[in-house]
Structure 1
Amino acid sequence: MDLGTNTFHLLIASGTAHNYQEIVHLHESVKLGEGGINKGYILPEAFARGINTMLQFQQQIEANGVEQVRAIATSALRSASNGNDFINEVKAKTGISIEIIDGAQEAEFIYNGVRLCGCLSGGSSLIMDIGGGSVEFILGNADHIIYKQSFEIGAARLMDLFHRTDPIPAASIQALNLYLEDKLSDLFKAVTNHKVEVLIGSSGAFETFAGLIEIEKGEEFDLKKNVSYTFNETELLTLTNQLVQSTHQKRAGNKAIIPVRVDMIVVASLITRFIMHKLQIGNVMMCTNSLKEGVLAGMLD
């Protein structure tokens, strides 16, 4: 289980790390950070949604005779003053023990998940995972990690700070870019002496980007059949520009955008565009694997 700021994921599988069969794969829009992400507190409504989802997950775990369980919590529970209350209630009601991991561990799990995709090569790639509470950057190749860091600049946090009017105003975009310039200084220093050949977006918003581009072409896009996707730079920048300028109503009416991403896709677009321009990266890929697959790989091995 990957218990994120926006979405709780359950992945039940059997087999080996490089050849496993999915038995159950659920995504539940819990929005644990809604209304309280920048206050460091899980609001009662979000708290209840999280507990109810964990009860559903426990039913699936029991129904499928699962032998080994790991529940990994990230940014929202990591920074919430009542995060331990949530963990204790889940333990009492389901028996599931939640592990809170730090940003470095989160980045390593993401790297392991992406490596399973086969997207990495001998050259340097920059993996970016845009979550609701944090964004992880991992510089590495198929053999090892060169640099990894988690930044508390997730889509839910940035929405709360900058995307209060829709469409997002030009002044807010400028303020957001200046904010990213400041917050990501460690990343920029780390990549100075490395030629980044490709930016790999780990699941989340990048799945939506790929789906929107292919559907616009009249093509079907099935994430189960497309574990990776290579973007055309012009198509991706055109799409992100359209999303940034769009209204909530227009995004909500697009079936290719799942409800939890209807608003967060705007700041996710701005982060993506900022990184591409700042680091002058034109080659961008999507990998459907992320933290949960990285955790699963370790369990199956």
Structure 2
Amino acid sequence: MRIAVIDLGTNTFHLLIAETAGNQLEILYKTNVPVKLGEGRINDNIIIPAAFERGVNCLETFSHTIAEYEIDEIRAMATSAVRSAENGQDFVDAVKERTGISIQTISGNEEAELIYQGVKLSGAITEVSLIMDIGGGSVEFILCDTQKLIWKKSYNIGAARLMQQFFKSDPIADEEKNAILFHIQNQLADLFDICEKYRPIILIGSAGAFETFAELMIRKNNLKTAINTAKTFAFNFDDYIATSIKLLNATHHERAEMPGMIPLRVDMIVIAALITNYVLGRCKINRLMLSTYDLKMGVLASKL
């Protein structure tokens, strides 16, 4: 069976085309486009006209690619930016009209479930783990062990939301960091309660910002790992902490010049580092792993 999975993230739209047969999976094509659907007014729950048009144009391009692969099924998933926008349904309707692609706007809970299934497929879960997926609109947390998903929740504290609300200085000012930490501390109270009970010993970062963290460290240390083909990557924890502190103290220009940095994440990586470090500290976790498998692979996992 040949399936196309589209993940309409707040920052990036992804297209993955795969062939499944029994429990075998072959990736035929994958790409991502920095659409920035949450640009400008995500906290006002509006997709601005320029972002709206970029999104539809991107999906028109995706539809041409899909047509070349003779697909049996298309699964298009819209997440935080679309589900929270007052004109989110208008966007879904415009895409259907111009491309024929039917978009399913999924809840935060459904998003967390698919992320869990994707990470599980990567083989990253080997003990009691806290999975974290930092999107532009929302951040998902999943507590799990090797056998089951224990708890999951999606929070509207994505990097684009926090950046638009708090991040005004270059480099980020201490008062802005403190305002962000105060905000997420209040939001994540139930996460810290459940982690106190189950005590996860590793944080698994799902794709996105964690791939950028990994790329920065791979380039810095001249490692042989290729993130685009790896399923997982185990961070040297002290190296991660040093890298994250460097990111927090750097200017926009200094971050942009770091080998391994992609333009989309030059500023959002600051928010990602802040949230990640806070969660690691509050949950007393000192091990960190990347799973390159995320929501898209979670969709495919249900086909195996």
Is the 1:18–1:116 Cα contact (8 Å) retained in structure 2?
no
- Cα distance in 2 for partners of 1:135, 1:224 equals 22
**Structure 2 unaligned residues grouped into runs of 5+:** 1-5
Deviations 1:15-62 (A, max 9, x none): 247531111101000000000110100001100100110001100110
Pick one of 227, 230, 244 that aligns with 2:231: 227
Secondary structure of the residue aligned to 1:223 is: coil
Is the 1:72–1:98 Cα contact (8 Å) retained in structure 2?
yes
Following TM superposition, the consecutive aligned residue runs of length 4 or more in structure 1 with deviations greater than 6 angstroms are: none
- Cα distance in 2 for partners of 1:248, 1:90 equals 34
Is the 1:203–1:288 Cα contact (8 Å) retained in structure 2?
yes
1:27 and 2:27 aligned = no
Give the aligned partner of residue 46 of structure 2. 41
Percent of pairs identical after alignment?
45
Give the aligned partner of residue 106 of structure 1. 111
Is the 1:17–1:296 Cα contact (8 Å) retained in structure 2?
no
Give the aligned partner of residue 133 of structure 1. 137
Is the 2:216–2:259 Cα contact (8 Å) retained in structure 1?
no
Distance 1:154 1:196, change over 3 A: same
Give the aligned partner of residue 182 of structure 2. 178
Pick one of 36, 53, 57 that aligns with 2:58: 53
Distance 1:232 1:34, change over 3 A: same
1:62 and 2:44 aligned = no
Give the total of aligned pairs: 299
- Cα distance in 2 for partners of 1:147, 1:262 equals 32
1:286 and 2:294 aligned = no
1:1-301 mapped onto 2 (5 Å cutoff): 1-16=6-21, 18-121=23-126, 123-298=127-302, 300-301=303-304
Structure 1 residue 82: deviation in Å?
A: 0.5
- Cα distance in 2 for partners of 1:278, 1:60 equals 44
Structure 1 residue 127: deviation in Å?
A: 0.1
Is the 2:219–2:259 Cα contact (8 Å) retained in structure 1?
no
Is the 1:210–1:231 Cα contact (8 Å) retained in structure 2?
yes
**Structure 1 unaligned residues grouped into runs of 5+:** none
Q: Which amino acid aligns with 2:66?
A: I
Q: State the TM-score, normalized to the length of structure 2.
A: 0.96
Q: Which amino acid aligns with 2:301?
A: A
